[in-house]
Chain A
Amino acid sequence: MRASADETRVPAPDPGGRAGPTAPLLDFRILGTLEVLGPGGAALDLGSRKQRAVLALLVLNAPHVVPLDQLIDRLWADEPPSSATGTLQAYISHLRKTLEPHRSPRTPARVLRTREPGYLLDVEPGQVDAHRFERAAEAAQAALAAGDPAGAERLLAPALAEWRGEPLADLSDEPFAKSTIARLGGVRVSALTARAEAWLALGRAAEAAAEAEQLLARDPYREGLWGLLMRALYRDGRQAEALTAYQRCRALLADELGLAPGPELRRLEQAVLHQDESLPGPWPAGVPRPEEPPARQPAAGQTTAGQTGAGQMGTGQAGAGQVGRVLVGREPHLRRIGERLDDLGRGAGGVFLVCGESGVGKTRLAEAAAETAAERGVDVAWSRCVDGNGAPAFWPWIQALRALPGEPQRLAHRLSEGSDAPAAEGSADPDTARFLLYDAVARALAGQAAAAPALIVMEDLHWADAASLKLLTHLGADLHRVPLLVLATVRQEPGGGRQPFVEALGELARQSGTERMNVAPLTPEQIADYLRAAGRSAAGPELARALHDRTGGNPFFLGELLRLLTSAHPGDRVEVADVAGLAVPDGVRDVIGQRVSRLPEDTQTLLRAAAVIGRDVDADVLETATGIGGTRLMMLLEPAVATGLLVEVEGGWDYRFSHALVQEALYSGLSRRQRAQLHGRVGEAVETLCHGEVAARLPALAHHFGLAARAGYADRAVRYAVEAARQAGARLAYDEAVMYWEQALDACAAGPADTRCPILIGLGRAMRVTGDVVGARIVLDEAVTLATALGDDAAVIEAASVFGGITLWNWRSYGVVDQRMVSVLEDQLARLDPVAVATRAELLGTLGVELYYGERREEGRRHALRAVELARGLGDPRLLARTLNNFLIASQMPERDEERHRAAEEILTLPGLPRATELIARMHRMPGLLKWGRLAEYDAELARCLRMTAEVRMPEFETQVGFAATGRAVLAGDWAEAERLAARAAGSYSRTSLWGADALKLIGGFFIDRGRGLRSPLLPELVECGADESNLPLRPTAVLAAAESGDHALAHRLMDRWGVAMPRDWTWQFVAWQWGLVSAMLGRPDPEDLLADLLPIAHEFVTMGTGCVSWGTLHDVVAMLLHRTGDVEGARAHARSARDVHRALGLRHLERASASLLRRLGAAPAP
């Protein structure tokens, strides 16, 4: 079930896959000179003495792994490890060719295999003559003991015939061979003795006696042989010789060793003397075994072959190579994961974040979770996010969906192919498309999970692309009621990570199914457990402490350090002093660097090039990029696999760095120049290998060429980044699109204007979609400049009219007119071909918006109106929606509310409306509903907009709708809710670069405090913020705050300084209301003037812009102003109206305020 999981810890493929014996069987013979007989029975050429020694070591340990370090230590102790490893590798490589001459270079070796921490000979015991012999010897002893001498003889005759001379005669002076030679010699003597016993039992006493004599000639101190000799001679009727034999033995033992013969021999002598017929039979078990068979060569670092030999030849021990496999100190984590998996059975899933520093063992936990899940019948899909930008958008999801059965697989295809909608280019509706896509994935997963609960493991979520993160948060909202658990590993970095990632974490945290689990480094006690579990039982607490000091308890670091120490001291035990004396600066990268430096130099070079490719290494790409052949590539990478730095990917010939830190350490060891060059070569390799099928490889191509741009690959860096940006846009991955456009821009640097200009336009458009309004402005301004300089009118129009796209708010900062853009637009309009009506409508609409904040506002409104007429004439609904929207912004004037309301409603009647356009039109319509007190309609629209925002998910909309919801809560007097919504809206606001975030936050905060009857602590901030000319709409709020706090002097000073302007723009009603409140208190600004403005609209409700602050009806302030000017009756009438309206709408706090005002008016005489 696991897709592309980390193969390091997965056992080798099932031996069932190998039908019968691998190749025709080879016969390994060590009873004599080292020999290997091929399938035809001919001896193979085993090469030089060193090469034969390598093979001999592997044969002696088969089928267990012989660690690479041990091979080096045994055979090249005095050479530097780097060159010795190279030499060893050459021999291994050639031995493979000899042993499997017909294997194609890309088929994995089956006889001489690589397995961390070294190599093994994967053979059946029966393929080694020494094993056959020993087994026969044992069987013969058993037959003899069972009283079957004939059977014993039959077994021994062919077994003894296998001996061609001294074991490993050609390597007998190698220290590693000595103990084996001695042991096999001993077994042979036992076998010969057993055969002699069998002869004796079969009545062939003379032959037995002769054999015993021969054996004694070689080894005279074996009493058992003397006994055999005595019995054989006696049975052969040679009692005298039997007694002489006893005397010889006694003399020998006494002279040489000062011993007397043992009791058995003495008893035998007596029996001979007494002619005892019942002369003791064969010695129990023939002769004493010479010695306990010594442990097979390597003591440490042995691992079983995993398929053939385990059990037949004893099991290996956990050694240096396996230390990384132990999962210690994670019991609570595993328990919690188990509980969450149990929850799946109850239909509850969620997002489970496993967080911790790099190397702390997050992936190990994820693997344990996957194993547990599989045991419980939960489907497991494994996916991995990739560092850098080399992977396509949605990559982790594509992997996960592919790994699950059923409907999700089809969705994987949709994610990787993208939708057909030419989204993000402005023509279709990107937001709907994206929502539908996310929704389809969510439904497919929910459907599949309902059929069979599932676990999706997502490794390295911190590297996920923004599109994938958005999909995760979209999905996460519902997971608490879907039996699907997404377990993601997250690397914690001090900086917190990239923006989309931080946002996603924030959003996930608010979802009820999300849980975050931190994985801490190991304590010294846990390290002690770890060492015990790794078979280093002798390790004391001091060693654990020393290792903790060095590694900070990071398990990966710990494993690497132990491997390095084991390499440097093979066979020895690692001591505290070794750890303390290690001349490394603390840091796992240095440890990895030292391990790498022990490999052959060409291997090091290849690893560095591989690190540029990434954590996953495509062997074809590496081969093409470095220009060496596949066979040699595999040979050179072998030692890296054997030492565990690389792992082979199952079912292919690709590789993968065993840990991200290994790849990072190698990559960081390269200079910038080297990286750039290598990225260029890798990019070229990818390009060559995709044979024109570029689409799937665009992210990788853009990534590699982007990083190689400064090394002469700028053209391709630009080209692929642009293509990748377009592709990301088409796949609804807008943040990625921005990233690729930026990359393209960066790569073309000071490139020609005609290259740069379209990139700037693409970037501006993509930034606009993601909500980065200011960024888009800057970029598009530059595009206009460049296009103007180029005389490219089409490009100028394209860039300039992006500003006239459909929005709720004016893009410009408050009060700013971009004169340059105005003249650009006017210039284009003047020169425009009269037949280009649609373009004229776009330009006029845009110009209308651009003129809004200046003297020519009314002219702008007329331009926008004209644009609407042109669009209507063309009958193009999309253009009509756009121009109507232009009009809505260009005509934000107090007296135009009804016209604007109608315009918004007209947009909503248009066919095929993109979701975002619809949302914006509804939002344009809402303030009118509020002002006119149509609260039921307003609430219905607000609910609908909130729903749509959840679908469209652009920060800009989240902010705007959020503000509207905040204002509604203020109106209802639900202060806590208002505060919560305001904070949230402010949060999403900060992700856009729209104007006024701080000002709006302060205004909202002040009125919430005011509604609660608090003296707002925000006064100083309001005053400070108002000092900035661009925050003009905030000034009346600051003055009101000062006045209501009782500091009338300050209020006056502020009015002296700032004036009491009431620009007739979108802020007018809200500003006039506040001035009214101030005036009622201070008599300034002039109450009569304000009454003239406010009386006609006394029935309206107060609201600001999108509705971020909404207060009750203006009757209240009119009442106060009338009271101030002496019209007490009028004042009472308005206060009464206010109270009644507020009561009718159920606005309790406003009703109370109006009622209290009415009481005060009743009591107090006019001033």
Chain B
Amino acid sequence: MPRSSDPDPRREPGSSTLLLREVPAHLGAAPALLRSPLLVALREAPAARCRLYVLADVAAPAAAPPVAGALVEVGEPASGRSALLRALAVEPGHRRRGLGRRLLADLLTELRADGVRALRCRADPGDGGLAGLLERAGFTVTSHAASEYDVPNIRHRAVWLVREL
């Protein structure tokens, strides 16, 4: 904690009014603009165990799309309460504003409050900066993914990351 805390740079004009919300996780409910990564992920996931979180501006018109979202699959309590981050996406127009970090932090809080003990994620080479984002958020690489990706001359390989909560 610096002795003199900096005033929040976003405070004027207009403080942040972004809020994480859980929305029903079914294909019809998914916000249109997030369809690419999130809906694809939702199609592959067992919908009953999935939770869809969006980061939306409460001071935007109700019809406005969220700025970011994530799809998480939560295991049964018996399974040691770990969760799987299936997808995380920030709207193209809203990137480079720290929203991925914000969404992830909110997500961790949510899961933690729910008693989830670990969040895992598989980051593929095509996932942009996801692996980096996760590592900056305290995720550690546990293993490299299945061997079909294990080609020596491909620098970025799919990896499994995990964060204890």
Task: Indicate whether A597 sits within 8 Å of B61 (C-beta atoms), given known contacts A87-B112, A609-B17.
Answer: no
- CB-contacts of B126-145 with A (<8 A): none
Residue contact A674 to B106, C-beta cutoff 8 Å: no
Inter-chain CA distance A711–B59, complex, in Å, is: 10
For residue B5, give the distance in angstroms from its CB to the closest CB of chain A.
Answer: 6
Inter-chain CA distance A51–B3, complex, in Å, is: 28
Residue contact A601 to B16, C-beta cutoff 8 Å: yes
Residue contact A86 to B105, C-beta cutoff 8 Å: yes
List the 9 shortest-distance A-B pairs measured between CB atoms, nearest first: A671-B14, A583-B4, A674-B59, A90-B112, A90-B113, A93-B113, A669-B15, A90-B109, A677-B59
Digit string of A669-694 for contact with B (CB within 8 Å is 1, else 0)? 11101110110010010000000000
Find the B residue at minimum CB distance from A626. B58
Task: Indicate whether A600 sits within 8 Å of B109 (C-beta atoms), given known contacts A97-B115, A605-B16, A605-B58.
Answer: yes
For residue B107, give the distance in angstroms from its CB to the closest CB of chain A.
Answer: 11
Residue contact A593 to B11, C-beta cutoff 8 Å: yes
Residue contact B19 to A47, C-beta cutoff 8 Å: no
- CB-contacts of A653-711 with B (<8 A): 666, 669-671, 673-675, 677-678, 681, 684, 711
Inter-chain CA distance A597–B59, complex, in Å, is: 18
Residues of A within 8 A of B19 (CB): 602, 605-606, 609, 626, 628
Chain B CB within 8 A of A48 CB: yes
Size category of the binding interface on chain B: 35 or more
Question: Among the listed B15, B59, B110, B117, which residue makes an inter-chain contact with A48, where contact means beta carbons less than 8 Å apart?
Answer: B117
Chain A CB within 8 A of B44 CB: no
Find the A residue at minimum CB distance from B115. A94
Inter-chain CA distance A846–B87, complex, in Å, is: 74
Residue contact A590 to B117, C-beta cutoff 8 Å: no
Residue contact A673 to B14, C-beta cutoff 8 Å: yes
Residues of A within 8 A of B165 (CB): 48
Digit string of A83-98 for contact with B (CB within 8 Å is 1, else 0)? 1001101110110011
Find the A residue at minimum CB distance from B112. A90
Question: Among the listed A47, A97, A608, A632, which residue makes an inter-chain contact with B15, where contact means beta carbons less than 8 Å apart?
Answer: A608
- CB-contacts of A13-65 with B (<8 A): 45, 47-48, 51
Residue contact B112 to A94, C-beta cutoff 8 Å: yes
Inter-chain CA distance A377–B152, complex, in Å, is: 87
Find the B residue at minimum CB distance from A51. B112
Question: Among the listed A89, A594, A711, which residue makes an inter-chain contact with B113, where contact means beta carbons less than 8 Å apart?
Answer: A89
Task: Indicate whether A628 sits within 8 Å of B8 (C-beta atoms), given known contacts A97-B115, A581-B3, A677-B59.
Answer: no
Residue contact A608 to B17, C-beta cutoff 8 Å: yes
Seen from chain A, the residues whose Cβ lies within 8 Å of a Cβ on chain B are: 45, 47-48, 51, 80-81, 83, 86-87, 89-91, 93-94, 97-98, 568, 578, 581-584, 590, 593-594, 597-598, 600-602, 604-606, 608-609, 625-629, 632, 635, 666, 669-671, 673-675, 677-678, 681, 684, 711-712
Question: Among the listed A629, A669, A684, which residue makes an inter-chain contact with B12, where contact means beta carbons less than 8 Å apart?
Answer: A669
Find the B residue at minimum CB distance from A674. B59
Find the A residue at minimum CB distance from B106. A602
Residues of A within 8 A of B5 (CB): 568, 583, 594, 597-598
For residue B17, give the distance in angstroms from its CB to the closest CB of chain A.
Answer: 5
Residue contact A91 to B112, C-beta cutoff 8 Å: yes
Chain A CB within 8 A of B18 CB: yes
Find the A residue at minimum CB distance from B14. A671
Residue contact B115 to A670, C-beta cutoff 8 Å: no
Residue contact A94 to B113, C-beta cutoff 8 Å: yes
Besides A602-B109, A670-B17, A674-B59, 13 other CB < 8 A contacts? A94-B112, A601-B105, A605-B17, A626-B19, A629-B22, A632-B22, A669-B11, A669-B12, A669-B14, A670-B15, A671-B13, A671-B14, A674-B17
Digit string of B134-165 for contact with A (CB within 8 Å is 1, else 0)? 00000000000000000000000000000011
Residues of A within 8 A of B6 (CB): 583
Task: List, sorted by A's number, 15 A–B pairs whose CB atoms are closer than 8 Å.
Answer: A47-B117, A90-B112, A91-B113, A581-B4, A582-B4, A584-B4, A584-B7, A601-B106, A609-B17, A629-B22, A632-B110, A671-B13, A677-B59, A677-B60, A677-B61
Residue contact A597 to B58, C-beta cutoff 8 Å: no
Residue contact B59 to A670, C-beta cutoff 8 Å: yes
Question: Among the listed B16, B113, B164, which residue makes an inter-chain contact with A604, where contact means beta carbons less than 8 Å apart?
Answer: B16
For residue B157, give the distance in angstroms from its CB to the closest CB of chain A.
Answer: 30
Inter-chain CA distance A578–B4, complex, in Å, is: 9
Inter-chain CA distance A581–B62, complex, in Å, is: 44
For residue A78, give the distance in angstroms from its CB to the closest CB of chain B.
Answer: 9
Residue contact B20 to A604, C-beta cutoff 8 Å: no
Residues of B within 8 A of A578 (CB): 3
Residue contact B11 to A609, C-beta cutoff 8 Å: no
Inter-chain CA distance A625–B19, complex, in Å, is: 12
Residue contact A94 to B4, C-beta cutoff 8 Å: no
Digit string of B1-44 for contact with A (CB within 8 Å is 1, else 0)? 10111111001111111111110000000000000000000000
Residues of B within 8 A of A93 (CB): 113
Inter-chain CA distance A545–B110, complex, in Å, is: 45
- CB-contacts of B69-91 with A (<8 A): none
Residues of B within 8 A of A604 (CB): 15-16
Residue contact A711 to B61, C-beta cutoff 8 Å: yes
**Among A97, A581, A605, residue most surrounded by chain B Cβ atoms (within 10 Å):** A605
Residues of A within 8 A of B14 (CB): 669-671, 673-674
Digit string of B103-126 for contact with A (CB within 8 Å is 1, else 0)? 001101110111101000000000
**Among B13, B58, B114, residue most surrounded by chain A Cβ atoms (within 10 Å):** B58
Residues of B within 8 A of A597 (CB): 5, 7-8, 11
For residue B140, give the distance in angstroms from its CB to the closest CB of chain A.
Answer: 15
Task: Indicate whether A87 sits within 8 Å of B59 (C-beta atoms), given known contacts A608-B15, A670-B17.
Answer: no
For residue B31, give the distance in angstroms from its CB to the closest CB of chain A.
Answer: 13
Residues of B within 8 A of A598 (CB): 5
Residues of A within 8 A of B16 (CB): 601, 604-605
Inter-chain CA distance A712–B16, complex, in Å, is: 21
Residues of B within 8 A of A90 (CB): 108-110, 112-113
Residue contact A609 to B61, C-beta cutoff 8 Å: no
Residues of B within 8 A of A606 (CB): 19
Residues of B within 8 A of A628 (CB): 19-22
